[in-house]
Chains A and B, each alone.
Chain A
Amino acid sequence: MTFTRRTPVRLLIAGLAAATVLAACGSSSKSSNSGSGSTTSFSGTVPQGGAITIGAEQEPDCFDWLGTCAGSSWGYWMAEVNTIPLAIQASGVGPDLKNTPGPVLAGEPTVTTDPVETITYKINPDAVWSDKVPITCADFQYTADQQQNSKDIYDRTGYTGIASVTCPDPKTVVVKYKQGETFATWQLLFSGTVGIMPSHILKGKDRDTLMKDGYTWSGGPWLAKWNKGDSIVLTPNANYWGNKPHLDQVTFKFLADTSAEFQAFKSGQVSMIYPQPQLDVVDAISAGLPDANSVYNAKTASAEALWINNQKPPFNDKVFRQAVAYAIDRDAIVNRLFGKLGVTQAVNSLNPYVVKDYSDPNAWSNYKLDLNKVNSLMTGAGWTKGSDGIWAKGGQKATFTINSTTSNKRRELTETVMQQMLKTAGFDMKIANQKASQLFGETAPNGDYQMALYANNLTSIQPGECNLFCSQNIPTAANGNSGNNWYRVSIPELDPLLKSVDTNLDDSVRKSDAAKADDIMAENQVSLPLDPLPDIVIWSKKLVGPIGDNSIEGPFWNIDQWGVNS
């Protein structure tokens, strides 16, 4: 599992978006069929042939999925998922995502722990690359070797502890961990953003040079061609061993501006868009989009929260953190942001919904607006209200600053609403938003903040909270200021529970420990979960097939099953 902090790209234009959707909202809907849920049902025959164009908000930096230049969500959704075999896939749509063996495997991998953790994969006998060379154990060996030993690798997590990858036969892979090393989230191996690479094409050569600008081979249902700056074009892989795609061509056109993207959809220049859940997008959808289907998925891999620096006064006091939590009506904020989509309640765990089994989804449910509780907590801690209605203690007022990303109307509205709520409760919150690069590159890692508003996103159905909340991961000079516990959470009883979630091979223990950890974090109010950052998918009614949101692999994970009516 990797957490990513989504950094909206539209620095310059996004701020202008509100003005834009005037036109988008101006015309009324003729036959908008907005799904209030997260999936649409489809039954019927999918037409064969045809081409579609989809609006893509981001262009990837490169196609070398193992390299440091990778890491783009859109690159993963558009090209990697459709061309690179993944051992384990997050399949399904809406809230029903689950880890399943990818088509490249003949079945579920087996895991044994005695004497060391050992994972055995059986490769599908029919699985071949697009040049008809069979996908074999050598490809797994090559991938693991690159992950362990190659330079410029984006994330080696799970691979450094591997002792050996052996091949009893070409279609069987045995991965053994070193003595004393365990990797509870073994489903991440050869999966997620680290797919299986073709040894016969890449071995002994410079992988990055061969892949970074695109490649002509594939181990999935599609071949991908990257026209830099313009589009990614998928065409069927004629030698794919599974079901062949129905469509002749899929073009992902890069449209970085959300407002222009909406207009392109409304004018039929693109057939599908997957916009970020900004206010103007929500308004445009609620105003109606002609001849469009849409789904909104609130049970996603994302969680937006008020992240708190637990070492920065006044938030270094647990009581103060709790009092602030009781001063905010989180449900009212979520209702204001996403009520038009039917999302009206705040989330109550810092873990996104997709890993609900590894959390207590109700851990923060006690933190509801309760001004009496605020008063009792604050007065109990020695604070008194001044003539201006703001709490004060020892000459210090209850004043703090929140940081978020600039040019994000949704977050700006959240802050404004919160500011009013907090003022009513006796807190003075100042707003100082920053560019995403500054917030995530400097301010938060260096701990130069008190409270921050942003979302964390999972890239697999696996928890990984130790990375975010174990005391050993607090950024310090010792670790080059690069630990990911930007919240400076340091709770002795929390660390072993979170470590257990990462390393214990007994899944029931992991789940139990994860839930206990959530409860401890809620009791200490280390940060305050807010909303699930719903995913929104909008597509033309000409598109047919099992279309829906997959918040891990993206909505295009099953695009081979889609068709288009002429």
Chain B
Amino acid sequence: MLTYIVRRIVYSVPVLIVASFLVFWGVRTTYDPTAKYRNNRDAARVIAEKKHELGLDKSIVAQWWTWLTDALHGNFGTSYRTNDSVSSMLRHALWPSIQLMFFGTIFALIIAIGVGVYSAVKQYSAGDYFFTGTSYFFIAMPAFLFGLLAIALLVTLPVEKFHLSEPILYSVGLHSNGQSGFNLDYIRHLVLPVATLVVQSVAVWSRFQRASMLDVLNADYVRTARAKGVSERTVIFRHAFRNALIPLVTVVALDTAFLIGGLVITEQIFAISGMGRLFLDSLQGGDAPVLLGWFLVVAIFVVVFNLCADLAYSILDPRIRVS
């Protein structure tokens, strides 16, 4: 098992190195971090100084190599934009995003699995048609539109209609002023961004779960179990459900990157200072060091999630062995 994990990590290193160069090249050729000084009266001096200071007067390969060697020594550099250390910026941004992704994934899995199993067991029932229609509706709806409509309908409308002194659900940040920790205020802030982040995932995952469950329910061993007089509840939850989870695990692991992409929209709308907002701010500022650090963190996330998925297979199906 350990050998397998180490091998997977070693395989990902060249991928990360090539990806880091592509990102560096893309950012540096697209965004000029000194552009914001062009309208300064002192522009010639400031731009010349900044180009030298940031090493922008060297070739892109040389700039990237400097970044890579520093990164290998644990120094991810300094932000072009804020003069802050990249590590510190990533650390600050990571925590709110982890909260959103953690609660989002839990919430999405519970809903998606529940809906998927119900739709498969009650195939072609009114409930199945309802969930199918609803799923396609949310798959088609862009996350930003869902988020803004949710704010309008669940935050603003109740305040206006019922003259509330404060909204039931909040749409700004993860805590009210002066609040912190896991409490009711936090939950009231968390509901809408989490729902916005995973609304499409819930819809997609529930369809996968339904299809996978239907496959298993029609398998020979399930028919055998039924023929032997095993109760329907036992058939579904003991024999079918576990096997039907395997395809979903694959999809969930692959969707990690999709969720991280969703953070850009969610955190912008709900004013949350996480990885999504850091990405957007850094991209607009041509802040290559931060973007490289960002991509590295995201890549590690994706690798780890995929590794977890591989390990989960062996837990769900003992016939699968990691080697």
The docked-state distance in angstroms from the alpha carbon of A140 to that of B47 is 27
The docked-state distance in angstroms from the alpha carbon of A213 to that of B92 is 13
B231 close to chain A: CB less than 8 A = no
* Residues A230 and B269 in contact, CB atoms below 8 Å apart: no
A390-433 interface code vs B (CB 8 A; 1 in, 0 out): 00000000000000000000000000000000000000000000
Interface centre among B167, B177, B273, B281 (most CB of A within 10 A): B177
* Residues B152 and A263 in contact, CB atoms below 8 Å apart: yes
- Assuming the contacts A23-B153, A266-B156, A437-B286, asked whether A482 and B44 have C-beta atoms less than 8 A apart, the reply is yes
* Residues B284 and A11 in contact, CB atoms below 8 Å apart: yes
**A-B CB contacts (within 8 Å), total count:** 186
* Residues B41 and A263 in contact, CB atoms below 8 Å apart: no
CB-contacts of B96-151 with A (<8 A): 96, 142, 144-145, 147-149, 151
- Assuming the contacts A23-B149, A156-B45, asked whether A266 and B159 have C-beta atoms less than 8 A apart, the reply is yes
Could you say which of A62-70, A196-204, A215-223, A308-316 contacts chain B? A62-70
- Assuming the contacts A51-B177, A62-B82, A263-B155, asked whether A268 and B167 have C-beta atoms less than 8 A apart, the reply is yes
- Assuming the contacts A23-B152, A67-B83, asked whether A269 and B167 have C-beta atoms less than 8 A apart, the reply is yes
Chain B residue numbers with a CB within 8 Å of A249 are: 177
Which residue of A154, A260, A437, A442 contacts B40 across the interface (Cβ within 8 Å)? Answer: A154
Chain A residue numbers with a CB within 8 Å of B322 are: none
Chain B residue numbers with a CB within 8 Å of A359 are: none
Chain A residue numbers with a CB within 8 Å of B271 are: 230, 253-257, 260, 264
* Residues A442 and B35 in contact, CB atoms below 8 Å apart: yes
* Residues B41 and A467 in contact, CB atoms below 8 Å apart: yes
* Residues B82 and A212 in contact, CB atoms below 8 Å apart: yes
- Assuming the contacts A212-B82, A268-B165, A290-B160, asked whether A480 and B48 have C-beta atoms less than 8 A apart, the reply is yes
The docked-state distance in angstroms from the alpha carbon of A9 to that of B277 is 12
* Residues B177 and A437 in contact, CB atoms below 8 Å apart: no
B223 close to chain A: CB less than 8 A = no
- Assuming the contacts A23-B152, A69-B82, A71-B36, asked whether A437 and B171 have C-beta atoms less than 8 A apart, the reply is no
In angstroms, how far is the closest chain A Cβ from the Cβ of B279? 10
In angstroms, how far is the closest chain A Cβ from the Cβ of B228? 56
* Residues A442 and B155 in contact, CB atoms below 8 Å apart: no
Chain B residue numbers with a CB within 8 Å of A562 are: none
- Assuming the contacts A230-B273, A441-B32, A442-B32, asked whether A5 and B39 have C-beta atoms less than 8 A apart, the reply is yes
* Residues B277 and A267 in contact, CB atoms below 8 Å apart: no
- Assuming the contacts A67-B83, A267-B167, A482-B43, asked whether A255 and B172 have C-beta atoms less than 8 A apart, the reply is yes
* Residues A267 and B45 in contact, CB atoms below 8 Å apart: no
Chain B residue numbers with a CB within 8 Å of A9 are: 284
A146 close to chain B: CB less than 8 A = no
Interface centre among A23, A153, A445, A479 (most CB of B within 10 A): A23
* Residues A4 and B39 in contact, CB atoms below 8 Å apart: yes
CB-contacts of A36-69 with B (<8 A): 51, 53, 59, 61-62, 64, 67-69
On chain B, the number of residues with a Cβ less than 8 Å from chain A's Cβ atoms is 64
The docked-state distance in angstroms from the alpha carbon of A382 to that of B42 is 43
* Residues A256 and B82 in contact, CB atoms below 8 Å apart: no
In angstroms, how far is the closest chain A Cβ from the Cβ of B216? 41
* Residues A229 and B277 in contact, CB atoms below 8 Å apart: yes
Nearest CB in chain B to that of A290: its residue: B160
* Residues B152 and A26 in contact, CB atoms below 8 Å apart: yes
Which residue of B47, B159, B268 contacts A482 across the interface (Cβ within 8 Å)? Answer: B47
- Assuming the contacts A62-B82, A208-B83, A260-B151, asked whether A228 and B46 have C-beta atoms less than 8 A apart, the reply is no
* Residues B41 and A155 in contact, CB atoms below 8 Å apart: yes
Which residue of B38, B81, B159 contacts A445 across the interface (Cβ within 8 Å)? Answer: B38
* Interface secondary structure of B, over-half rule: helix
Interface centre among B44, B50, B92 (most CB of A within 10 A): B44
A123-163 interface code vs B (CB 8 A; 1 in, 0 out): 00000000000000000000000000001111111000000
* Residues B170 and A269 in contact, CB atoms below 8 Å apart: yes
CB-contacts of B165-179 with A (<8 A): 165-167, 170-173, 177
Nearest CB in chain B to that of A259: its residue: B148
The docked-state distance in angstroms from the alpha carbon of A24 to that of B148 is 10
A251 close to chain B: CB less than 8 A = yes
Interface centre among B32, B148, B268, B278 (most CB of A within 10 A): B148
Nearest CB in chain A to that of B47: its residue: A482
CB-contacts of A1-47 with B (<8 A): 2-5, 9, 11-13, 16, 19-20, 22-24, 26-27
* Residues B171 and A267 in contact, CB atoms below 8 Å apart: yes
A532 close to chain B: CB less than 8 A = no
Which residue of B41, B165, B277 contacts A484 across the interface (Cβ within 8 Å)? Answer: B41
CB-contacts of B17-48 with A (<8 A): 31-32, 34-48
B274-311 interface code vs A (CB 8 A; 1 in, 0 out): 10011011001110000000000000000000000000
Chain A residue numbers with a CB within 8 Å of B144 are: 13, 16
The docked-state distance in angstroms from the alpha carbon of A20 to that of B269 is 11
* Residues A152 and B53 in contact, CB atoms below 8 Å apart: yes
* Residues A16 and B42 in contact, CB atoms below 8 Å apart: no
- Assuming the contacts A51-B177, A251-B177, A437-B286, asked whether A257 and B39 have C-beta atoms less than 8 A apart, the reply is no
CB-contacts of B237-278 with A (<8 A): 264-265, 268-271, 273-274, 277-278
Which residue of A233, A268, A480 contacts B44 across the interface (Cβ within 8 Å)? Answer: A480
Chain B residue numbers with a CB within 8 Å of A175 are: none
* Residues A263 and B280 in contact, CB atoms below 8 Å apart: no
B199 close to chain A: CB less than 8 A = no
Chain A residue numbers with a CB within 8 Å of B156 are: 23-24, 263, 266-267
A270 close to chain B: CB less than 8 A = yes
A275 close to chain B: CB less than 8 A = no
In angstroms, how far is the closest chain A Cβ from the Cβ of B163? 10
A545 close to chain B: CB less than 8 A = no
* Residues A12 and B280 in contact, CB atoms below 8 Å apart: yes
Nearest CB in chain B to that of A213: its residue: B84
In angstroms, how far is the closest chain A Cβ from the Cβ of B280? 6
A440 close to chain B: CB less than 8 A = yes
Nearest CB in chain A to that of B285: its residue: A61
* Residues B160 and A266 in contact, CB atoms below 8 Å apart: yes
* Residues A12 and B268 in contact, CB atoms below 8 Å apart: yes
A245 close to chain B: CB less than 8 A = no
Chain B residue numbers with a CB within 8 Å of A548 are: none
B93 close to chain A: CB less than 8 A = yes
* Residues A69 and B83 in contact, CB atoms below 8 Å apart: yes
Q: A16-B142, A268-B159 are in contact. List 10 more A-B contacts (CB 8 A).
A: A27-B157, A51-B177, A61-B81, A62-B83, A231-B173, A263-B155, A269-B166, A437-B35, A480-B47, A482-B38
What residues of chain B have their CB less than 8 Å away from a CB belonging to chain A?
A: 31-32, 34-50, 53, 81-84, 92-93, 96, 142, 144-145, 147-149, 151-153, 155-157, 159-160, 165-167, 170-173, 177, 264-265, 268-271, 273-274, 277-278, 280-281, 284-286
10 tightest A-B contacts by CB?
A229-B273, A441-B35, A23-B152, A482-B43, A482-B44, A20-B148, A441-B32, A267-B156, A267-B159, A157-B41
Residue contacts A-B, CB under 8 angstroms, 29 given: A2-B40, A2-B41, A12-B280, A22-B152, A24-B156, A61-B285, A62-B82, A67-B83, A154-B46, A155-B41, A213-B84, A228-B92, A253-B172, A253-B271, A255-B271, A260-B148, A264-B271, A266-B159, A267-B171, A268-B167, A269-B171, A437-B31, A437-B32, A441-B32, A441-B38, A464-B41, A482-B43, A483-B44, A484-B39
